[in-house]
Amino acid sequence: MTTSAAPHLDTGDTAWLLAATALVLLMTPGLALFYGGMVRTKSVLNTLLMSFVSIALVTVVWLTAGYSLAFGDDVFAGLIGGLDHAGMAGIGPGSLTGTVPTLLFTTFQLTFAVITAALISGAVADRTRFAAWLVFVPVWTLLVYVPVAHWVWGPDGWISQKLGALDFAGGLVVEIASGASGLALCLVLGPRIGFKKEAMRPHNLPMVLMGAGLLWFGWLGFNGGSALGANGLAAAALLNTLVAGCTGLLGWLFVEQRRDGHPTTFGAASGAVAGLVAITPSCGVVGIPGAAAIGLAAGVVCSYAVAWKFRLGYDDSLDVVGVHLVGGVIGTLLIGLFATATMTDGAEGLFHGGGAAQLGRQAVAVGAVAAYTFAVTYGIGKAVDRLMGFRASAEDELTGLDQTQHAESAYDHGVLAGPVGSASVKAPAKKESPVA
């Protein structure tokens, strides 16, 4: 007769998860830079602040009720947890989740909720009232993110425990949820003034690349930390993440070269992010060849998907739908092809002899999460719009949200002439031409 060992704190696992939590938190400032470089100069600060304020808003909601509802014991059919741990009740420094402190696990999961809410802002950048965003984020976190997190990662969630679909680090919970929600919200707000008529190019590509680099760096903690331990699974997830980011970048550049005749820095940043999005659900269930294929598929498909908005007429400002929704769907579905028992200890995809059953489970999960998040977000958006107005006025949008929403500007465009201390800087006098 054998008995299971009592849960114990593992200092190695705890140290790794502490580092991973910090890495994932860094992703939100990285996202702010990524998005900030993509907008026009008149809305840079507003775009940055929509990400930064999400850290504060989601933290309050998560510690008040979100964690308990997402990860507490199920109270109804695998759909939602209870409120036993509301306000972090009953969780102290000695409480453990696996081999790490529950307070650390709570914080790690909080950083996922933060960046998921921040991701949505990219779909409606350049035209959103900041006050409305402050109302939307807490409501969305409770009504959309928390239930989906329980379905997929909760102890009795219906997607993981009953359906048997796999999502290692957030393809359903983060990527598809944010992408479908972004689509719903940009439909509620409508297109920007000048959409499809004016060029709305990124104003600062070095900022975009810096943001993408920080996202890539943080993603190693995002995916590797989801193993919840300093072990071989964390190492495999981390390496798969690196590989998929690389093949996503190369795939996007390949499309640009063939389609446009030149690869771009913007395409490189976007391709890397697309690959990272797609590998998120699968990094802990596929091998390196599978990770390379998933990243490459995302880089190629997403490079075309970002143009769908022009044909279909929805104004997804910063390509949340084309990259995060489409990339999340690709990565989640391809688990059904590339999952290997050496990683999952059980489930296998079609290409490894497992048949089409896992692919079917993944498809059901994708459809359920996309439909729920789209419908509920659309309802929240409409309610906020009716209550207080979600979209900035036409005058504010044309002037720029930095000035109208925050009374600031990202760049000083003033002239040199004028008082500087006690002196004045004057333009040099024009030299007269010699008279013949």
Q: At what angle do helices 102-120 and 177-189 cross, to 10 degrees?
A: 40
pLDDT per position as a tens digit, 415-435? 444 444 444 444 444 444 433
How far apart CA 283 and CA 268 sit, in angstroms, is: 21
pLDDT per position as a tens digit, 178-214? 999 999 999 999 999 999 999 899 999 999 999 999 9
Q: Are 118 and 31 in contact (CB under 8 A)?
A: yes
Give CA separation, 222 vs 121, 284, 391, 433, in Å: 20, 12, 32, 66
Beta-carbon contacts of 154 under 8 Å, excluding residues fewer than 6 positions away, are 70, 71, 72, 74, 78, 81, 160
pLDDT of amino acid 430: 46
Beta-carbon contacts of 85 under 8 Å, excluding residues fewer than 6 positions away, are 67, 68, 71, 72, 91
Cα–Cα–Cα angle for 269, 38, 28, rounded to 5 degrees: 75
Cα–Cα–Cα angle for 153, 157, 162, rounded to 5 degrees: 120
Answer whether residue 119 shows pLDDT above 80: yes
Q: Token pair of 8, please? A: 């114990």
Biggest CA–CA distance in the chain, Å, is 113
How far apart CA 28 and CA 206 sit, in angstroms, is: 18
Q: Token pair of 74, please? A: 């199920």
pLDDT per position as a tens digit, 336-371? 999 999 898 888 899 998 899 999 999 999 999 999
Indicate the pTM of the whole model: 0.92
pLDDT per position as a tens digit, 89-104? 999 999 999 999 999 9
pLDDT per position as a tens digit, 238-276? 999 999 999 999 999 999 999 999 999 999 999 999 999
Q: Token pair of 386, please? A: 């009716």
Tell me what the pLDDT averaged over the chain comes to: 93
Answer whether residue 4 shows pLDDT above 80: no
Answer whether residue 1 shows pLDDT above 70: no
How far apart CA 20 and CA 16 sit, in angstroms, is: 6
Q: Would you call 251 exposed, middle or buried from its count of C-beta atoms within 10 A (0-12, 13-18, 19+)?
A: buried
pLDDT of amino acid 7: 77
Q: Are 299 and 274 in contact (CB under 8 A)?
A: yes
Beta-carbon contacts of 357 under 8 Å, excluding residues fewer than 6 positions away, are none
pLDDT per position as a tens digit, 325-338? 999 999 999 999 99
